[in-house]
A and B are shown apart, each in its own frame.
Chain A
Amino acid sequence: MVTAVSFTLNGTAVAAVAEPAETLLSVLRHRLGDTSPKAGCLQGTCGACTVLLDGEPVLSCLLLADAAEGRRVETVRGLADGPTLHPLQEAFMDRFAAQCGFCTPGMIMAAKALLDRNPNPTREEVIEAISGNVCRCTGYLPIIEAILEAARRLAARR
């Protein structure tokens, strides 16, 4: 048995067929070809699969795909505007906040959830915002610096 699910992915209406208990992560990666959310632990502990659902960060590995029905899903793939990177992506590059890069899509989406809601966060708020995201190689300091830097760049644009 399969079910149909449709939602907005990075601003574009998409639809897919899925197994009834298939996760959003699996539908994004295997049915819709958006491999930007990563399959890390599938246990909710690494945060590499973090996407935004109606602006809220969720763990797509623990969410049934049909929970996204009719809603707005954002992944890191939708952040760049053609060749122009999002200030978070730019700041991650400039501050060397990615080594292997596996945690980066989740880190950036967790950070985006924060900055969309709170454009001028404190260092503590940044740490809290990425507290569900594990990085095993870069280390957290460059990531925290990059997010604070992105907030400054976004503020300068306003």
Chain B
Amino acid sequence: MPLSVRTTETLAEAAALLATERAARFLAGGTLLMRAVNEGDVSFSLLVRTRDPNFVRMRTAGGRIELGAGVTMARILAARELAFLHAPARAIGGPAVRSMATVGGNLFAEHPYGDFAAALLALDARVQLATGFGPREIPLEEFLRGRDRHPRALVSAVVFERPSDPAAFRFHKMTRTRPKGAAVLSIAAHLPLSGGRITGARVAYGAMGKTPIRARAVERALEGRPLSPEGIAPAVAVAAEGTDPPTDSLASAWYRRRVIGVVLRRLLLGEG
């Protein structure tokens, strides 16, 4: 059956279509979905898009940042006030992928993808969902956990607090090829210091589970500690706790669990 395309004026209309049409898929940048189209995937027959201006809106003034789900990696890289997000945005594909790939699409990208989602996890982002019954907001972590159970949810935006100190936000992606490639793993960390001690650490991993995950054991072990080799040692010791990395052509699960502590230590000590 030939594919058809529907373009809605509002997010709500798109959400309603996705909820009622079983064979519909939402199309954002298309860097993953159009691959399936080109492969002749017949599990869907309708592509739904939206022209809703809210979908591509960026609000970056002030402490609360809102990124419409349709914002591309290239737009983030062009926004100087989002400099702390440039490392994870640049981690997605090459320049042409980045002019298309969206923030929202990255939340659905399957292993080993989702590097930007890992960064958003470390920022404790919340996901805004458009539903036929109006908007709803849930923590990104909860969203990712239930992602595969709610394939028809439409993400309209992500919101998070700007890190008070941009230097407190760090990101590193480990790849087999340079300068770009899919992740062996990626790590994002938000490490605010107060009186030389970490308070409210948030650490997230990409490619260390089915979806990007928070590294809770690491976060607990970092709390109240200085960012010194001794201070971070307990966190490095539990780096692999709670992870369940897949084995793929880039790395085995064993290797990912082995190397995560090394990469974490370098990131924490700024040796990345």
Contact = CB atoms under 8 A, between A and B. Distances in A.
Contacts of B168: none
Given A20-B4, A20-B5, A59 B37 contact: no
Interface stretch (A71-79, A96-104, A124-132, A147-155): A124-132
B96 A57 contact: yes
A63 interface: yes
B94 A58 contact: no
Interface string A67-110: 00000000000000000000000000000000000000000001
Contact of A63 (B3, B30, B47, B74): B30
A52 to B, nearest CB: 9
B194 interface: no
Q: How large is the interface on B (under 10, 10 to 19, 20 to 34, 35 or more residues)?
A: 20 to 34
Contacts of A23: 34, 38
A113 B99 CA distance: 11
A85 B2 CA distance: 41
A132 B96 contact: yes
Interface in B76-124: 93-97, 99-100
Nearest to B96: A57
Interface residues of A, number: 30
B96 A59 contact: yes
A42 interface: yes
A128 B38 contact: no
A156 interface: no
Contact of A58 (B2, B38, B99, B179): B99
A17 interface: no
A2 B74 CA distance: 31
Contact of A132 (B27, B37, B38, B97): B97
A116 interface: no
Chain A at the B interface: mostly helix, strand, loop or mixed?
A: mixed
B38 A113 contact: no
B3 A20 contact: yes
Given A64-B30, A132-B180, A20 B74 contact: no
Nearest to A44: B31
B35 interface: yes
A131 B99 contact: no
B10 to A, nearest CB: 19
Contacts of B34: 23, 44, 61-64
A43 interface: yes
A58 B96 contact: yes
Interface string A131-149: 1110000000000000000
Contacts of B93: 44, 132
A43 B4 contact: no
Interface in A28-56: 42-44, 47, 50, 53, 56
The 5 A-B pairs at the shortest CB distance, nearest first, are namely A132-B94, A21-B3, A62-B34, A42-B38, A57-B96
